[in-house]
């Protein structure tokens, strides 16, 4: 009996040894099992979020991301988090004032390279539009990851609205906040005029601070109470300058708002020649308006004696005597205008029709009107913005030459031009038809405070002098030019026809140097505790954590095919093929 038991045990042992030794049979058995399992359509339950292979990253590159964070900056931590949350296919959206898409459907290797190249900018933040932009690139099986300090300065709409809108389309949205409170004192506003500049400095801390302020050779120390603002005023420097803060006895952990740049017209005097036979030109409204201009030197020439015209930038004909002025004066001024880009202003006078301006004035005198009319600005252009010309009881009805293109700056109620502008080859020609000193006209414009403002604007335009407004901008703006030009930016020299002002500093253009500053109180509020995400963890809807069946049929068939290939290879190596 024991003999039969041992015999059975030996047979079973030999069977399994033979089975293990016969690899071909084992491979065929496994192929058969995998095929049988695939017919049964096996599946496992997995979280829905595990199906998302496409990732759309929204990375905050705004100014507040320059704030210190755990030995580095918020931006550096945000980039590390972005690298740790890449998908198989990635799209990268940069959150700044105007969102920018820099990568579309790239693999993780190329996305990492782009992340390594990125630097934080100096713009405000528009997270809502950035998330909406990401939604345009996300598919129903995509995941949108928003990495930011969630200081959204450009929109009032809640970010949860954008999040829920995308989730309703089956898109998973994760918010990841990089944030910790830091100390900050910064310049949040700047007002510049010709004489004085005022900077608003805010202390965001819960303790008083002393700040040393420096601009040029001026240094002052001011005390700013906790969570308060102080105004610092100084004389406006000519040209370009820089205002800097140095916080005393406290480490400022956000330095992007510690300095501002200022650009004003260079202190170069414009020479104006007033050609007149008025015996008391210094008593006229026009002379006084020019005489008080900071960057203007006005000189008077009494015909027929006229100085050399070469050194002047602008010429004015006012109250001239046709019998005394020589034709050569008009011809000389016309040559300066046409060939050298100078400007001439011709003012109306009673005997206007009897004067031959030798092609300088493209208007025909028709008649003198002696009825009251409002003087109306013809457009909202910068020359006449907020300018009220008042009324006049006398004016000259004029009409332009045929074929001449005129810009009407101001006109009467019956559309008679009173102030016009036209080009004459390289130069400019203005006609001023308001009779400032004429008692019969009884105008009030010459006595108005805006009279000086109007002429100052006209001189700046006529002599191509950029206004302070056109020399100072906030980050996030875009400048467009008529043609491409070489531009020196804080990050290097570029050639462009459109310029995005993403960094603070001085930009040198063909015709001027402009100053770009952040000046955003909300963006500088890097201690803002309002949060749309938990620090360091993701917030996602529970709907993407629910279990859903994941069918394994495809994987079993693939396994069977791989085993068949191994079988063929084994047979070939054994020599049976």
Question: 270-462 adopts what CATH topology?
Answer: Rossmann fold (3.40.50)
8 A C-beta contact, residue 147 and residue 78: yes
Region 185-214 average pLDDT = 96
Region 118-142 average pLDDT = 93
How many residues does the structure list for the chain?
A: 577
Distance between CA 212 and CA 250 in Å, rounded? 12
H or E element that contains 249:
none
Beta strands at 142-148 and 172-177: parallel, antiparallel or unpaired: parallel
What digits encode the pLDDT tens for the residues 228-240? 999 999 999 999 9
CATH code for residues 185-263: 2.60.40.10
How confident is residue 365, by pLDDT bands cut at 50, 70 and 90?
A: very high
* pLDDT score of 17: 56
Tokens for 233, please give them: 């005023």
User: Which pTM does this prediction carry?
Assistant: 0.75
Beta strands at 391-392 and 343-347: parallel, antiparallel or unpaired: unpaired
Between the alpha carbon of residue 297 and those of residues 282, 284, 309, 337, the distances in Å are 13, 16, 14, 19
How confident is residue 142, by pLDDT bands cut at 50, 70 and 90?
A: confident
Least confident of 13-22, 225-234, 422-431, 542-551: 542-551
What digits encode the pLDDT tens for the residues 524-563? 999 887 545 444 434 444 444 455 565 667 777 888 788 7
What digits encode the pLDDT tens for the residues 375-409? 999 865 678 999 999 999 999 999 999 988 999 99
CATH code for residues 49-181+527-549: 3.40.50.410
Beta strands at 391-392 and 373-374: parallel, antiparallel or unpaired: antiparallel
Tokens for 473, please give them: 């901008």
CA Rg value for the chain? 39
Q: Domain coordinates of the chain in residue numbers?
A: 2-42+552-574, 49-181+527-549, 185-263, 270-462, 470-517
8 A C-beta contact, residue 54 and residue 139: yes
Sorted by sequence, the CB contacts under 8 Å of residue 523 that are 6+ apart come out as: 62, 63, 64, 124, 125, 151, 153, 257
Least confident of 23-37, 54-68, 76-90, 198-212: 23-37
Rounded to the nearest integer, the mean pLDDT of the chain is: 89
Least confident of 132-141, 205-214, 243-252: 132-141
Please check the confidence at residue 245 and state whether its pLDDT lies above 80. Answer: yes
Q: Whose CA is closest to 421, among 433, 438, 437, 435? A: 433
Region 240-262 average pLDDT = 96
* pLDDT score of 27: 72
H or E element that contains 23:
helix 23-39
Task: Give the residue, 178 or 142, on which the prediction is more confident.
Answer: 178
Distance between CA 236 and CA 110 in Å, rounded? 48
Query: Taking the chain, what is the end-to-end CA distance rounded to the nearest angstrom?
Result: 47
Region 34-63 average pLDDT = 74
Instruction: Please give the full DSSP string across 344-383, using - where no structure is assigned.
Output: EEEE--TTGGG---TTS--EEEEEEE-S-EE-EESS--TT
Fold matches, 49-181+527-549 and 270-462: yes
Least confident of 151-160, 492-501, 533-542: 533-542
What is residue 490's DSSP assignment? T
* pLDDT score of 538: 42
Between the alpha carbon of residue 359 and those of residues 174, 355, 364, 401, 403, the distances in Å are 71, 11, 11, 10, 13
Least confident of 26-35, 88-97, 545-554: 545-554
| b/e burial code for range 28-46 (CB count within 10 A of at least 16 → b) | eebbeebbebbeeeeeeee
How many CA atoms lie within 13 Å of 271's alpha carbon, on the beta-carbon side? Answer: 10
Region 80-108 average pLDDT = 94
């Amino acid at each position: 009996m024991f003999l039969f038991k041992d015999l059975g045990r030996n047979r079973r042992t030999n069977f399994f040894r033979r089975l293990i030794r016969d690899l071909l049979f084992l491979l065929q058995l496994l192929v058969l099992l995998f095929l049988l399992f695939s017919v049964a359509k096996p599946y496992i339950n997995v979280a829905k979020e595990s199906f998302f292979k496409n990732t759309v990253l929204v990375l905050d590159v705004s100014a507040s991301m320059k704030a210190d964070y755990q030995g580095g900056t918020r931006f550096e931590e945000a980039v590390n988090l972005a690298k740790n949350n890449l998908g198989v296919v990635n799209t990268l959206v940069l959150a700044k004032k105007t969102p920018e898409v820099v990568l579309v459907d790239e693999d993780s290797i190329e996305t990492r390279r782009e992340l390594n190249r990125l630097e934080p900018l100096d713009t405000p933040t528009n997270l809502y539009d950035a998330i909406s932009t990401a939604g345009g690139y996300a598919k129903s099986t995509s995941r949108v990851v928003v990495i930011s300090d969630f200081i959204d300065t450009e929109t009032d709409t809640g970010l949860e609205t954008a999040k829920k809108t995308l989730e309703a389309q089956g898109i998973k949205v994760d918010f990841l906040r990089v944030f910790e409170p830091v100390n900050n004192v910064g310049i949040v506003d700047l007002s510049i005029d010709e004489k004085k500049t005022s900077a608003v400095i805010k202390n965001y801390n819960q303790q008083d601070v002393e700040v040393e302020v420096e601009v040029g050779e001026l240094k002052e120390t001011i005390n700013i109470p906790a969570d308060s603002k102080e105004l610092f005023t100084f004389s406006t420097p000519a040209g370009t300058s820089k205002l800097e803060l140095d916080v005393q006895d406290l480490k400022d952990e956000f330095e992007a708002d510690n300095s501002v740049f200022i650009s004003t017209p260079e202190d170069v005097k414009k020479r104006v020649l007033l050609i007149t036979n008025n015996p008391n030109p210094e008593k006229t409204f026009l002379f006084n308006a020019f005489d008080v201009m900071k960057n203007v030197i006005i000189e008077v020439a009494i015909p027929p004696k006229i100085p050399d015209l070469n050194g002047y930038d602008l010429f004015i004909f006012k109250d001239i005597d046709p019998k005394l002025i020589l034709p050569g004066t008009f011809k000389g001024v016309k040559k300066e205008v046409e060939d050298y880009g100078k400007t001439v202003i011709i003012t109306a006078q009673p005997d206007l029709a009897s004067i031959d301006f030798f092609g300088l004035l493209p208007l025909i005198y028709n008649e003198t009107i002696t009825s009251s009319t409002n003087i109306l600005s013809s457009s909202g252009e910068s020359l006449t913005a907020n300018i009220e010309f008042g009324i006049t009881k006398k004016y000259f009805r004029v009409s332009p030459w045929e074929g001449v293109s005129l810009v009407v700056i101001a006109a009467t109620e019956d559309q008679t031009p009173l102030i016009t502008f036209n080009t004459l080859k390289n130069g400019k020609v203005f006609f001023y038809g308001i009779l400032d000193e004429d008692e019969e006209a009884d105008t009030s414009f010459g006595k108005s405070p805006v009279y000086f403002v109007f002429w100052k604007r006209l001189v700046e335009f006529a002599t191509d002098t950029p206004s302070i407004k056109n020399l100072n901008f906030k980050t996030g703006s875009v400048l467009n030019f008529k043609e491409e030009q070489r531009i020196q930016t804080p990050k290097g020299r570029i050639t462009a026809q459109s310029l995005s002002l993403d960094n603070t500093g001085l930009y040198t253009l063909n015709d001027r140097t402009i100053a770009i500053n952040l000046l955003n109180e909300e963006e500088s509020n890097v201690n803002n505790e309002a949060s749309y995400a938990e620090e360091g963890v993701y917030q996602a809807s529970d709907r993407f954590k629910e279990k859903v069946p994941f069918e394994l049929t495809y994987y079993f068939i693939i396994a069977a095919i791989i085993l068949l290939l191994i079988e063929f290879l084994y047979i070939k190596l054994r020599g049976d093929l």
